[in-house]
A and B are shown apart, each in its own frame.
Chain A
Amino acid sequence: MTTTTSPAPYRRPGLRRLRVLGQGPMFTVSVAVLVALVLVALLAPVLAPYDPEALDLASSLVGTGADHLLGTDQSGRDVLSRLLHGARTGLLGPLLVVTVSTLLGTLIGVVAAWRGGWADTVLSRSMDMVFAIPGLLLAILLVTVVGSGMTAPVIAMAVAYTPYVGRLVRGIARQEKARPYIEAYRVQGWSGWTVSVRHLLPNIAPTVLAQSAMNFGYALMDLAALSYLGFGVQPPTADWGAMINEGQSAVQQGAMLPALAPSACIVLAVVAFGIVGEGLADRIAKRER
């Protein structure tokens, strides 16, 4: 299509959006949100005005006010205090899931990429098998064996997330292994282990880290979903997913906050982790060009 209007400089359509994610305000705001979340989780006992588990049936479903900034839930517990404490379980679970799955997935991915051949086949097929099992189902199965609480969902999610990391790492490690600088190290006579740990891993680490940030958000959501369903963290412990579950009945009585506030926290955290992860990935892509 030729036009007669003055020629505007051609821009790739996605470029502006990428810039917002990569370096713009959205990225900065998201980083700030995550920092705030971590601080809140660490300082929850100091910041929380009330004991998050203290029942006060007399002041059930009190609205927002000076005494309770976000009101109280059905059992009269301070919603704000529960939110603040909920950040602890909310972040601790995904932290464990992401740490374990990243370490395990990176190990599997690098070994599969470096060794190739039958080792690659065995590891890749094993990851495919784990892929085929839905993470939530695995968690529910494990809960019936181990019992509810944080342990079973965290183990199940770590297992379920490992192949995602493994597949990503295998892909980029294969690419990286074929690069001449890695081959130069091999020609120098370094062992495969040394080259992959000392040179390949640090060069792919930023990409893995970006993926881990995104996985953190997904894991947070999955663990919240399990708590919501009653398989995860059990009441009265403050947990965002469990809070939504408990707040459901209050919604019917016109009190939105006990359920809405933890929902908003989950959305905020997941979106922030997603934007930070994508922003990091974009920066890496830009630097590579």
Chain B
Amino acid sequence: MTVSAKERTPVADPVVPGLVVEGLRKRYGDHTAVDGVSFSLAPGASLAIVGESGCGKTTTVRMLVGLERPDGGTVRLDGRDRSARPRGRAERLARAREIQMVFQDPYLSLDPRVSVSGCLDEVLRLHTGLGPAGRRARVAELLDQVGLGAREASALPRGLSGGQRQRVAIARALAVEPRVLVLDEAVAALDVSIQAQILELLGAIRRESGIGYLFVTHDLAVVRHIADEVLVLKSGQVVETGPASRVLDTPEHPYTRLLLNSVPHRSHPRPGR
């Protein structure tokens, strides 16, 4: 305990670039949802967190974005701690610009009363000093980046399909130009053909922007497509971690093998081929 406290003195600590998570812990009553999870995500890298439902993967990323407070452990981005409650508005906004999140269900993650352009405009108003004209241009740019046009811009969420809504959610997350994008089962609620399109889009965005991805999923075919590295969670603990191809092709931990064997079919429609 005393040793780790000494290690954490900011002056002595060399700044590790990217996202560094150490010994993350969260309890709900008697149940330990996340039990000492550590990993790191280099800038621009892509890590998939896999595991069955209830393994703590969603709780883990919710602590990273600040929707839950960890009971123990640290989350740091480029050396800046973000595990404690933010002190004041400036820190809250700075943290928001570090990590953004795309939620699982695009039918629930957009405010039903706010139009697509309004939803993007809000974020820009909060985070940038752009004037109305500048924001309009940036909204158009963001929509273009996710493959949406002027027709969708004026629509309310209820006028859009699931895939289109998820594109809006992605644009909204990109609006602050985050360092890391957390995607919590971001394609799980979509049709398979739409899934492929969204994964393709996410791949293109990462190549262009260099944003790091943290992809929470239970779908191993998705992992192969999107992630460089994989982290396997079981009952809130990391059981295996490594490069995606290695973990998927030659899993070392029995639980990972079990996960791989429980996939009904290994061939998943891959976009672009």
Contact = CB atoms under 8 A, between A and B. Distances in A.
Nearest to A194: B126
Contacts of B109: 180-181, 183-184
Interface stretch (A104-112, A185-193, A231-239, A247-255): A185-193
Main secondary structure of the interface of B (DSSP, over half): mixed
Contact of B126 (A181, A190, A202, A203): A190
A199 interface: yes
B90 to A, nearest CB: 10
B108 A187 contact: no
Contacts of B95: 189
B98 to A, nearest CB: 10
A180 B97 CA distance: 18
A179 interface: yes
Contact of B89 (A187, A191, A199, A202): A191
B126 A186 contact: no
Interface stretch (B7-15, B34-42, B110-118): B110-118
* Chain A interface residue number, banded: 10 to 19
A202 B113 CA distance: 8
Nearest to B108: A180
B105 interface: yes
B172 interface: yes
* Chain B interface residue number, banded: 20 to 34
Nearest to B178: A187
A203 B66 CA distance: 23
A188 B126 contact: yes
Contacts of B253: none
Contacts of B123: 188
Contacts of B21: none
A202 B114 CA distance: 11
A184 B106 CA distance: 11
A275 B137 CA distance: 48
A189 B126 contact: yes
B69 to A, nearest CB: 12
A220 B16 CA distance: 67
B49 interface: no
B265 to A, nearest CB: 30
A188 B176 contact: yes
Nearest to B176: A188
A187 B110 contact: no
B225 interface: no
Which 6 pairs of residues, A with B, have the shortest CB-CB distance?
A: A189-B96, A180-B109, A180-B103, A189-B93, A180-B108, A189-B92
Given A183-B109, A188-B126, A199-B114, 6 more contacts: A180-B103, A183-B67, A184-B103, A187-B101, A189-B126, A203-B113
29 contacts: A180-B103, A180-B104, A180-B105, A181-B108, A181-B110, A181-B111, A181-B112, A183-B101, A183-B103, A183-B109, A184-B103, A184-B109, A184-B110, A184-B169, A184-B172, A187-B65, A187-B67, A187-B96, A187-B99, A187-B100, A188-B96, A188-B100, A188-B127, A189-B89, A189-B97, A189-B126, A199-B113, A202-B113, A203-B113
